[in-house]
């Protein structure tokens, strides 16, 4: 077995490989670009080598740099992960030529599977079912039209050099064929430099079911069952699961045998995946073979209880397969969701920025998080904006898939991300949508369920506004307690925030906005010191209280009771934004300080002006005092209500323009305030 390996990748897969290597007592070398100097995979590895600038073509896609790093550190093998150079035959060859083991299939297998038409010929020879059609060299339009007529419409014209859905055209009738063919050939010529096409029977509502296979260098090869990856968006997998819903033992054995025959046909060694396109009636056809460990391999690991990276390392070191086919058993059901920093409301545009708050769900035997980032890390535009893969597993017999669905919904609800847009809400809706929950699967599911998956801007529930207000009230309480503890007069009535006043209780007004909607939550303090509030929102008053988990300095775990309904929530502050996590959904509200209207520049410089006529009834701060953001400065009585005017930022109170009892006009400057320079 190797005693040191280099991982030629980054992000979650690099971290994942390091985790297995460490468990096996193998030392690890990470490679990183300048943009990844502080990345998690670098922190987890025993050693790390910088291989160049941020751009992947200058770093992670440079075989010579990676091989040089392996030689320089004495790594005996290189694990390529997926993507980057994992299916690059030149890289595999460069490793071999340098005496470094490439943890993957032989170069010949990569080469054979790299050409779609070659792959299909190999499969045909191995007796693997191909989609009914014509894949030959005769490209005469009339001949191809005869083939289409023979196959029967609808047919699919596919560019032989295409892939991933590019260069495909469905033709529904004979009259359309020749025009569609000409157009396909023109596109294939311009896109791929090769106008060869193949004609296939068009499968409507197909499923994508792939089989994990594993071969060793002693001629053994097994299948580790299947994964259903039909839920895709623009040919990118979104959800994957194992086993495939509706798969029968007989069909599984038939497809598994076909997959193993395909692998043996190319002398396959290592982890590989044979992809099938499957009709709703279960008839299946070879689609393509991938010569790498796939992103979605964890669902296979969860239902078999195996570690496929350990198998890769053992087989790479020349061992025979750890288990034989008859020793492999499916247990339970697993589902994986790919969590991305992308904005579903903006066409899934990638979102970059700092992960201000990142709290994955608690891991267990049923919940696994494979991630390459931690709170405080940046999602940069240089690489795939994956935050993590969230995998759940349930083993409750015939209800295992339903159990896995419930666990996924709960885990997604517990996944807190603040700082970048993300697809967690979208994933929750996708897992909950009747088609997915009911296993009514096909590659068009997301498109078909658009109405459910992309609802109009969801109404923000009343509780979300109230939870955000409660977090502000708790913040007030903490600030006042902190100030009182530092004050020379800690028992001053102005130091409290229970709203006590000589003539009754004051109301604390919290203005919040979401998009175009602005709301005011007026908080009255409930008497009796129970720390409860009475919250008035949209004319309805609710008794409410809140408490944080002891010892947590922030509100990541805020337990609220609103009108007798107890809720576990989180409120994460990021500047003026308040991210409220509630009932598995998240809402972004903005704290509005209606009384802060800086004179002059409109920035935080200048002073605080009265937004309405009123009377100054108390000066709380003192001229010359240095205050924190949010510190109460004075109380203005206006519209029969008391308004606390708070510091808009950390800074110094230079002077008050009015004394207690004085009337002030609308727009009058109340405080000369100087914001602390950053």
Q: What angle do CA 271, 276, 280 make, to 5 degrees?
A: 145
Binding footprint of ligand MV4, residue count (CB under 6 A): 15
Q: Which is nearer to ligand MV4, 223 or 286 (CB)?
A: 286
* CA distances, 487 to each of 472, 529, 645, 654, 667 (Å): 22, 22, 20, 19, 32
Query: Quick one: three-class SS letters along 160-215?
Result: EEEECCEEEEEECCHHHHHHHHHHHHHHHHHHHCCCCEEEEECCCCCEEEEEEEEE
Should residue 302 be labelled a site residue for ligand MV4 when binding is judged by CB under 6 A? no
Closest contact distance (angstroms) between CB of 261 and ligand MV4 is 21
* CA distances, 341 to each of 15, 315, 373, 387, 630 (Å): 18, 35, 11, 6, 32
Q: Which is nearer to ligand MV4, 135 or 519 (CB)?
A: 135
Stretch that binds ligand MV4, among 198-206, 432-440, 583-591, 631-639 (CB under 6 A): 198-206
Should residue 113 be labelled a site residue for ligand MV4 when binding is judged by CB under 6 A? no
Q: Which is nearer to ligand MV4, 206 or 372 (CB)?
A: 206
What residues between 411 and 470 interact with ligand MV4 by CB under 6 A?
443
Closest contact distance (angstroms) between CB of 172 and ligand MV4 is 13
Largest Cα span, the chain: 97
* CA distances, 35 to each of 223, 523, 527 (Å): 39, 47, 55
Closest contact distance (angstroms) between CB of 168 and ligand MV4 is 6
Q: Which is nearer to ligand MV4, 233 or 314 (CB)?
A: 233
C-beta of residue 25 within 8 angstroms of C-beta of residue 48:
no
Question: Residue 573 CB: number of other CB atoms within 10 A?
Answer: 18
Should residue 294 be labelled a site residue for ligand MV4 when binding is judged by CB under 6 A? no
Q: Which is nearer to ligand MV4, 151 or 464 (CB)?
A: 151
For ligand MV4, the binding residue among 40, 116, 208, 519 (CB under 6 A) is 208
User: Among 159, 119, 448, which Cα is nearest to 275's?
Assistant: 119
C-beta of residue 295 within 8 angstroms of C-beta of residue 82:
yes
For ligand MV4, the binding residue among 200, 226, 342, 377 (CB under 6 A) is 200
Stretch that binds ligand MV4, among 200-208, 309-317, 400-408, 469-477 (CB under 6 A): 200-208
Task: Please tell me whether residue 12 adopts helix, strand or coil conformation.
Answer: helix
C-beta of residue 371 within 8 angstroms of C-beta of residue 298:
no
Closest contact distance (angstroms) between CB of 206 and ligand MV4 is 5
Closest contact distance (angstroms) between CB of 288 and ligand MV4 is 7
For ligand MV4, the binding residue among 136, 141, 152, 165 (CB under 6 A) is 165
Q: Which is nearer to ligand MV4, 236 or 549 (CB)?
A: 236
C-beta of residue 600 within 8 angstroms of C-beta of residue 606:
yes
Closest contact distance (angstroms) between CB of 289 and ligand MV4 is 12
Should residue 273 be labelled a site residue for ligand MV4 when binding is judged by CB under 6 A? no
Closest contact distance (angstroms) between CB of 278 and ligand MV4 is 9
Q: Which is nearer to ligand MV4, 208 or 333 (CB)?
A: 208
Should residue 203 be labelled a site residue for ligand MV4 when binding is judged by CB under 6 A? yes
User: Among 237, 255, 357, 206, which Cα is nearest to 299's?
Assistant: 237
Q: Which is nearer to ligand MV4, 155 or 321 (CB)?
A: 155
Closest contact distance (angstroms) between CB of 155 and ligand MV4 is 8
C-beta of residue 606 within 8 angstroms of C-beta of residue 599:
yes
For ligand MV4, the binding residue among 92, 277, 417, 512 (CB under 6 A) is 277
Q: Which is nearer to ligand MV4, 232 or 325 (CB)?
A: 232
For ligand MV4, the binding residue among 131, 294, 366, 644 (CB under 6 A) is 131
Active site residues: 292
* CA distances, 631 to each of 162, 573, 577, 645, 651 (Å): 63, 17, 18, 8, 10
For the window 134-163, what string marks contact with ligand MV4 as x by the rule CB under 6 A?
A: ----------------------x-------
Closest contact distance (angstroms) between CB of 286 and ligand MV4 is 11
Ordered alpha helix ranges (H), 209-326: 249-265, 297-304, 308-316
For ligand MV4, the binding residue among 104, 105, 106, 206 (CB under 6 A) is 206
Q: Which is nearer to ligand MV4, 76 or 232 (CB)?
A: 232
Closest contact distance (angstroms) between CB of 230 and ligand MV4 is 7
Closest contact distance (angstroms) between CB of 158 and ligand MV4 is 7
User: Among 341, 339, 338, 340, which Cα is nearest to 352's?
Assistant: 341
User: Among 371, 254, 348, which Cα is nearest to 14's?
Assistant: 371
For the window 10-39, what string marks contact with ligand MV4 as x by the rule CB under 6 A?
A: ------------------------------
Look up residue 290 and give its two tokens. 């991938």
Look up residue 319 and give its two tokens. 């061992």
Q: How far apart, in whole angstroms, are the C-alpha atoms of residue 429 and residue 305? A: 29
Should residue 232 be labelled a site residue for ligand MV4 when binding is judged by CB under 6 A? yes
Query: Quick one: three-class SS letters along 408-455?
Result: HHHHHHCCEEECCCCCHHHHHHHHHCHHHHCCCCCCCHHHHCHHHHCC
Q: Which is nearer to ligand MV4, 348 or 393 (CB)?
A: 348
C-beta of residue 231 within 8 angstroms of C-beta of residue 239:
yes
Should residue 287 be labelled a site residue for ligand MV4 when binding is judged by CB under 6 A? yes
C-beta of residue 70 within 8 angstroms of C-beta of residue 6:
yes
- Report the interface residues with ligand MV4, using CB under 6 A: 131, 156, 164-165, 200-203, 206, 208, 232, 235, 277, 287, 443
């Amino acid at each position: 077995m190797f005693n040191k390996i280099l991982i030629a990748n980054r992000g979650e897969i690099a971290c994942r490989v390091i985790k297995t290597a460490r468990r096996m007592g193998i030392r690890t070398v990470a490679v990183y670009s300048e943009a990844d100097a502080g990345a998690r995979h670098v922190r987890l590895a025993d050693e790390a080598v910088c291989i160049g600038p941020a751009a992947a073509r200058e770093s992670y896609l440079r075989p010579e740099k990676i091989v040089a790093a392996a030689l320089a550190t004495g790594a005996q093998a290189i694990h390529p992960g997926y993507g980057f150079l994992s299916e690059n035959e030149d890289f595999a060859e460069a490793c071999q030529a340098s005496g470094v083991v490439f943890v993957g299939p032989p170069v010949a297998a990569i080469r054979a599977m790299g050409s779609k038409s070659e792959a299909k010929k190999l499969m045909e020879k191995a007796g693997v079912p191909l989609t009914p059609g014509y894949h030959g060299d005769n490209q005469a339009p009339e001949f191809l039209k005869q083939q289409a007529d023979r196959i029967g419409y609808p047919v699919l014209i596919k560019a032989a050099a295409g892939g991933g859905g590019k260069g495909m055209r469905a033709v529904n009738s004979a009259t359309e064929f020749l025009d569609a063919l000409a157009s396909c050939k023109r596109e294939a010529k311009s896109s791929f430099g090769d106008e060869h096409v193949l004609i296939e029977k068009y499968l409507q509502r197909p499923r994508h079911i792939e089989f994990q296979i594993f071969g060793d260098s002693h001629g053994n090869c097994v299948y580790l069952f299947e994964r259903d990856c039909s839920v895709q968006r623009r040919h990118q997998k979104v959800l994957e699961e194992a086993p495939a819903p509706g798969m029968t033992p007989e069909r599984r054995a038939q497809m598994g045998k076909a997959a193993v025959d395909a692998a043996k046909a190319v002398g396959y060694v290592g982890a590989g995946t044979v992809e099938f396109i499957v009709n709703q009636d279960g008839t299946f056809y070879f689609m393509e073979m991938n010569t790498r460990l796939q992103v979605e391999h964890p669902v296979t690991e969860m239902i078999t209880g195996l570690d496929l990276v350990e198998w890769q390392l053992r087989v790479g070191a020349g061992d025979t397969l750890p288990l034989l086919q008859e020793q492999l058993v499916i247990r339970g059901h697993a589902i994986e969701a790919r969590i991305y920093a992308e904005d579903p409301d903006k066409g899934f545009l990638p979102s970059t920025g700092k992960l201000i708050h990142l709290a994955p769900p608690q891991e267990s035997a049923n919940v696994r998080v494979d991630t390459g980032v931690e709170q405080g890390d940046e999602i940069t535009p240089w690489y795939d904006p994956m935050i993590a893969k969230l995998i759940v597993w349930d083993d409750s017999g015939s209800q295992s898939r339903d159990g896995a669905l419930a666990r996924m919904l709960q885990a997604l609800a517990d996944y807190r991300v603040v700082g970048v847009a993300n697809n967690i809400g979208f994933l929750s809706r996708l897992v909950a949508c009747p088609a997915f929950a009911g296993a009514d699967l096909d590659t068009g599911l997301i498109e078909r369920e658009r109405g459910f998956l992309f609802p109009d801007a969801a109404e923000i529930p009343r509780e979300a506004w109230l939870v955000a207000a409660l977090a502000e009230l708790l913040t007030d309480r903490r600030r006042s307690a902190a100030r009182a503890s530092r004050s020379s007069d800690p028992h001053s009535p102005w130091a409290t925030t229970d709203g006590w006043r000589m003539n009754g209780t004051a109301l604390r007004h919290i203005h919040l906005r979401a998009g175009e909607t602005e709301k005011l939550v007026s908080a009255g303090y409930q008497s009796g010191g129970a720390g409860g509030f009475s919250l008035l929102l949209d004319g309805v008053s609710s008794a409410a209280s809140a408490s944080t988990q002891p010892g947590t300095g922030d509100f990541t775990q805020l337990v609220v009771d609103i009108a007798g309904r107890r809720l576990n929530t989180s409120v994460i502050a990021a500047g003026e934004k308040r991210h409220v996590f509630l009932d598995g959904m998240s809402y972004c509200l903005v704290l509005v300080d209606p009384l802060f209207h800086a004179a002059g520049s409109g920035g935080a410089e200048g002073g605080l002006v009265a937004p309405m006529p009123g009377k100054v009834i108390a000066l709380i701060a003192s001229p010359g005092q240095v205050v924190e953001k949010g510190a109460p400065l004075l109380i203005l009585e206006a519209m029969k209500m008391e308004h606390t005017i708070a510091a808009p930022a950390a800074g110094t109170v230079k002077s008050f323009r009015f004394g207690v009892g004085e009337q002030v006009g609308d727009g009058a400057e109340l405080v000369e305030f100087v914001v602390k320079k950053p």
